[in-house]
Structure 1
Amino acid sequence: MLLSSLARLEATIDAETTSLTVHDLRDQDDFNRRKSQSLVELARLGRTISADRLSPPEIEGLERVRAKLRRNHELLGIHLRAMQEVSDLVSTMIQSAESDGTYSAVLRYQE
Structure 2
Amino acid sequence: MVDQTQPKDESARAERAADLPAPRSAGHAGLASIISRIEQAVEEETVAMRTDTSFDLRASNARKSRYLYELSRAVKNNGGAELADEQRAAIVRLREKLAKNEAAILAHLSAVNEVATLIQGAIQRAEADGTYSAGEFARR
Asked if 1:74 is matched to 2:131, the reply is no
Find the aligned partners of 2:44 and 2:54 in 1 and give their Cα distance. 11
The alpha-carbon deviation at position 23 of structure 1 amounts to 4.7
The letter for the 1-side match of 2:105 is L
The letter for the 2-side match of 1:58 is Q
User: What percentage of residue pairs aligned between the two structures are identical?
Assistant: 32
The alpha-carbon deviation at position 45 of structure 1 amounts to 1.9
Find the aligned partners of 2:74 and 2:127 in 1 and give their Cα distance. 55
- Residue range with higher mean Cα deviation, 68-77 or 93-102: 93-102
Find the aligned partners of 2:94 and 2:100 in 1 and give their Cα distance. 10
What is the aligned-residue RMSD (CA, Å)?
1.8
Q: Give the TM-score taking structure 2 as reference length.
A: 0.66
CA separation of 1:25 and 1:65: change in aligned 2, threshold 3 A: farther
Alignment of 1:32-47 (within 5 A): 32-47=61-76
The alpha-carbon deviation at position 15 of structure 1 amounts to 0.6
**Which runs of 5 or more structure 1 residues have no equivalent in the other structure?**
104-111
Q: What is the aligned partner in structure 2 of residue 28 from structure 1? A: 57
The alpha-carbon deviation at position 27 of structure 1 amounts to 2.3
Aligned length: 102
**Which runs of 5 or more structure 2 residues have no equivalent in the other structure?**
1-29, 135-140
The alpha-carbon deviation at position 48 of structure 1 amounts to 2.7
Q: What is the aligned partner in structure 2 of residue 108 from structure 1? A: none
The alpha-carbon deviation at position 20 of structure 1 amounts to 1.9
Q: Give the TM-score taking structure 1 as reference length.
A: 0.81
Find the aligned partners of 1:66 and 1:30 in 2 and give their Cα distance. 21
Q: What is the aligned partner in structure 1 of residue 48 from structure 2? A: 19
Question: Of the candidates 85, 94, 111, which is equivalent to residue 114 of structure 2?
Answer: 85
| Bigger Rg over Cα | 2
Q: Which structure is richer in relative contact order (CA contacts within 8 A, separation 6 or more)?
A: 1
The alpha-carbon deviation at position 95 of structure 1 amounts to 2.2
Q: What is the aligned partner in structure 1 of residue 31 from structure 2? A: 2
Find the aligned partners of 2:87 and 2:58 in 1 and give their Cα distance. 28
The alpha-carbon deviation at position 46 of structure 1 amounts to 2.4
The alpha-carbon deviation at position 94 of structure 1 amounts to 1.3
